[in-house]
Structure 1
């Protein structure tokens, strides 16, 4: 599950307008309609353009100091749970959007035996399909996460 086909869904334009935008089930269905089925065992990544903000406070907060960044919606991850998707990834600091109060994606996706990758970089340099992701992660015990080395093979 750590070497997988990579699917990228781009919401960069929407994220420019709404910092807390999300990938919705309709975005995934539109991707499938245009590109074909999501490969079995895939990692589906959100590309929002947020990684370009990593060195500024805007990566984390809006002008009022509140968390603000794109993420997955529960409708999207519910759809992905019905498919053979092993993981989701984001170029932000959380799988849920910054304004999430209930962390619905974390609380439904992770207990289902799937994993998530946060803080992905350079997604804009990759094709939306056809790449392979390699996740180099140490074994974790009694923790909520940790560092990983993520590579994409094109």
Structure 2
């Protein structure tokens, strides 16, 4: 039996499970809110073209209106000024869209402190227990924040000082970009950076360092609790938008049970 046939057999027998890590995309999907004077993306919406009527008697279809960075989405290097000479989302090699994943669970810490930051020592402690981060793989950062995704206010968690969501310290973001063997970093929050990252030095270090290093981001993931710490294979499938800085994506994980 060939390798692909073995995979199909494992999927059919449910020895390998497909876990959907994607948030449903609709008009109520939370989107990033930047303060003035910065411009913001539009909410997702559908505009009906026809629905089995005089505009098209046998078919239903819509125009979609959305930003590149809405819902579960993929950040390409060109999204940030540090990666402006890097790949746009259509230039990301297909072979890099299928890769192993490590899941670091800091949901308890994030529940206790919504401003919790991942540090290098946290990653090193995880590696001491589970082994090194996967070469050419993803680091998926579980915070439990997906439980808030149906409520935009709770998900963005902002007050007069700005949003409060877990993220990564400047030092850890630098290490992930420059030393860790990963190709990308994924989160359950609205962006790869902490809610307070606008006040960091430099601001938004995950965007700045990882995209500047030619690595990728995935945000607004769900169901990371269903993945093991190691062993899952991640499939990230953004639209190949020519010149695009990112794209909404369907993100799936293959998990051996």
Matched, 1:42 2:124: no
Q: 1:90-146: CA deviations, max 9, x gaps?
A: 011111100111112211110110000000000011111110001111223443322
Partner of 2:104: 9
Structure 2 residue 123 is matched with structure 1 residue 22: no
Which structure is larger by alpha-carbon Rg, 1 or 2?
2
The answer to which of 117-126 and 139-148 deviates more is 139-148
Distance 1:145 1:24 in 2: 26
Structure 2 distance, partners of 1:62, 1:120, is 20
- 1:38-77 to 2 correspondence within 5 Å? 38-56=133-151, 57-62=153-158, 64=160, 66-77=162-173
Q: 1:27 to 1:136 in 2, by over 3 A?
A: same
1:86 to 176, 183, 188: 183
What residue is the counterpart of 2:61 in the other structure? Answer: none
Distance 1:146 1:140 in 2: 7
- Cα deviation for residue 47 of structure 1 reads 0.2
143-152 or 83-92: which moved more?
A: 143-152
Stretches of structure 2 that go unaligned for 5 or more consecutive residues are 1-95
Tell me which moved more, 98-107 or 116-125: 98-107
Residue in 1 aligned with 2:206? 105
The counterpart of 2:219, out of the listed 118, 121, 145, is 118
Which secondary structure does the structure 1 equivalent of 2:103 belong to? strand
Contact in 1 for aligned 2:173/2:205 (Cα 8 Å): no
CA RMSD between the two structures: 1.5
Partner residue, 1:128? 229
Query: Secondary structure of 2:141's match?
Result: strand
TM (normalized to structure 1)? Answer: 0.93
Greater share of residues in strand: 2
Runs ≥4 residues deviating over 4 A: none
The alignment of Structure 1 onto Structure 2 pairs a total of residues equal to: 154
**Stretch of structure 1 that moved more, 68-77 or 35-44:** 68-77
Distance in 1, matches of 2:208 and 2:174, equals 12
Larger displacement relative to structure 2 (83-92 or 57-66): 57-66
The answer to whether the Cα contact below 8 Å between 1:46 and 1:72 also exists between their aligned partners in 2 is no
Do the aligned partners of residues 145 and 133 (structure 1) sit closer, same or farther apart at CA in structure 2, a change above 3 Å counting? same
